[in-house]
Amino acid sequence: MKIKKIITASFLVISALSLNSCWLLLAGAGGGTVAYVQGKYAMNMDGNIKDIYNATIEAVQSNEDFVLTKKSITPTDATVQGNTKVDSTDFSVTIEKLTDNASKVTIKFGTFGDRTASATLMDRIQENSK
C-alpha cells in the first residue's frame, strides 16, 4: 500500500511540474553547467563581463536570422536584446558579473523560451569568447 502512495504522489508531482513548465535541465557543457528553468537558459562562463558582452554581440550580429535592437553594459551586468527576422520573436541575453574572470549568461526567447534557439546562441557565445 505504501508503494502505491509513493507512485501516486510521484505521478502527481511530475504532472504538476509539466503543466507549469517548471522543468529543470542540468547538463555539463564546455565551461560550465547549463540550467533551463521556466524558459530561461543559463550558464556560467569563464571570461570577464566585457569579453562575454562582446562575444554576445558578435554572436547576434553574425547570425542572419537575428536583428540586434538594444545593448547596454555596466561594471556589474550587461544586456543584449534582439528579434528574430522570421517571426519577430524577441530575445534577451543577460550577463551578470560573478568574479573578475567569470560571468553568468542567461538567454530567453519569447514568452515561454526556446531551448534549441537558446542553446545554439549560447554555443556561439562560447565560441566567440575563446
Domain spans of the chain, in order of start = 23-129
Pairwise pLDDT comparison (20 vs 37), residue with the higher score: 37
Domain 23-129 annotated CATH 3.30.310: yes
pLDDT value of position 105: 94
**Is pLDDT of 26 > 70?**
no
Give me the mean pLDDT over the 84-90 stretch. 88
Q: Tens of pLDDT along 44-70?
A: 999 999 999 999 999 999 999 999 999
- DSSP one-letter string for 70-124: EEEE-SSEEEEEEEETTT--EEEEEEEEEETTEEEEEEEETTT--HHHHHHHHHH
Residue type, 114: D
pLDDT value of position 4: 61
Q: Is the dihedral of CA 74, 75, 77, 79 positive or negative?
A: positive
Give bridge partners of residue 94 from the DSSP assignment: 79, 106
The three cell numbers locating residue 9: 504522489
Q: Tens of pLDDT along 90-106?
A: 999 999 999 999 999 99
pLDDT value of position 56: 95
**Is pLDDT of 13 > 50?**
yes
Query: Could you tell me which residues come within 8 angstroms of residue 9 by beta carbon, excluding any fewer than 6 positions away?
Result: none
Give me the mean pLDDT over the 82-95 stretch. 91
Q: Tens of pLDDT along 101-126?
A: 999 999 999 888 888 889 999 999 99
